[in-house]
Amino acid sequence: MTRLIRPDEHDDPVAAVLSAHRSGARIALATSGTTGPGPRHVVRTTRSWWDSFPAYSELTGVADGARVWVPGPLRSTMNLFAAVHAAWAGAVLVDDPAQADHACLTPAVLERRGEELPRGARVVVAGAHLPDRSSAAARQRGLRISHYYGAAELSFVAAAASGGDGALRAFPRVEIEIRDEPAPGTIWVRSPWVCDGQTGPPGSLVRAEEGWATVGDVGSFESGVLVVRGRPDAIVTAGATVLVADVESVLAPAARGAVAVHAVPHPTLGQLVAATLTLDADRETLERLARDRLPVTHRPRVWHVVSHLPLTDGGKVDRAALAR
């Protein structure tokens, strides 16, 4: 039986992955958001990472001698992959963004800390959606932006190279289909980069025949361009089910600051749709847009303004904290 290494249990997760690759062991990567009785890990071969390294190098420009900034804990699969790739490529990790010429960030961290990078730095942004305002602001600061969408279970799905039109297209050796199961518009993929499975409580990974897999994200795929609306997180309010992605897809493009849609508890209705903004001047515009373009059930009933959206350790918006 193939040995299994859990990098998050080691003082040096990068060294643990490198050791697993040399010995032929598989790796079990911790995932966030587990609600079951124990931790959940995504199990994969190191080969499923190593074989994607050349394409990732082409996307990011990370090569021998590069100085790469990867903020956040290496428990995050995105961060750990970038750090292991840097070691493979002969690059070095730096703690100070001012000393970096490359970076791997989430959209939220790009918006919050991108200005700390020097002009000319190459940044790969990992996330389902890169807001136009964030991309434009980063480019105005002289940063070169590429973008990819993926998941711990699927690895790479689609990417947009620096200097292109910003559209996500299938990552090398990835096939994409849109199906109506388990929900309308679900993104399914087939590639050598998909994990072997999971340990622990059931997760979002669903497998189908002939190697197809999904984590439940929804979107569209037309003329080779993938548009990701995200995981269909639902808010149940007064008996109506509201998908967060449906509301954010209307509000976020019109906002000058960041916006996050989430639930807040209500004693009689169960939950209310809420929107938290980082720019108070956006509120009037977004409230008007919600009235004009969203059904009554989908319009935010609670509005908050904060200086920064709270983030998880992995650099994603912490909706649970917003709800609290």
164 Cβ contact list (under 8 Å, min separation 6): none
pLDDT of residue 68: 98
pLDDT of residue 84: 98
CA gap 85, 68 in Å, rounded? 10
Strand partners, 305: 277
Are domains 4-173 and 234-323 of this chain identical in fold? no
Strand partners, 160: 147
SS3 state of residue 19: helix
pLDDT of residue 35: 37
CA gap 137, 115 in Å, rounded? 9
pLDDT of residue 66: 98
Structure tokens at 179: 């199906």
The answer to whether 273 touches 293, Cβ cutoff 8 Å, is no
Fold of 234-323: GMP Synthetase; Chain A, domain 3 (3.30.300)
pLDDT of residue 144: 96
Mean pLDDT of the residues in the chain = 91
Average pLDDT over residues 260-285: 91
Is pLDDT at 83 greater than 80 in this prediction? yes
Residue with tokens 């969408």: 149
CA gap 106, 114 in Å, rounded? 10
pTM of the model: 0.80
DSSP code for 310? -
Q: Which pLDDT band holds residue 1 (cuts at 50, 70, 90)?
A: low
CA gap 278, 251 in Å, rounded? 13
158: amino acid identity, one letter = A
CA gap 149, 289 in Å, rounded? 28
Is pLDDT at 255 greater than 90 in this prediction? yes
Residue ranges covered by each domain of the chain:
4-173, 234-323
Q: How far is CA 186 from each of CA 34, 174, 182, 229, 232, rounded to the nearest angstrom?
A: 22, 16, 7, 10, 9
User: Class for domain 4-173, per CATH?
Assistant: alpha beta
pLDDT of residue 32: 58
Element (H, E) at 225: strand 225-230
224: amino acid identity, one letter = G
Give the residue among 136, 32, 142 at the shortest CA–CA distance from 78: 32
Residue with tokens 């970038």: 82
Neighbours of 264 (CB within 10 A): 18
SS3 state of residue 292: helix
Q: Which pLDDT band holds residue 143 (cuts at 50, 70, 90)?
A: very high
Buried residues in 171-201 as b, exposed as e (16+ CB within 10 A): bbebebeeeeeeeebbbbbbbebbbeebebe
Strand partners, 69: 94, 103
pLDDT of residue 236: 81
- Cβ-based burial of 280 (10 A; exposed 0-12, middle 13-18, buried ≥19): exposed
Average pLDDT over residues 300-321: 89
pLDDT of residue 313: 79
Is pLDDT at 36 greater than 60 in this prediction? no
Give the residue among 272, 297, 257, 4 at the shortest CA–CA distance from 132: 257
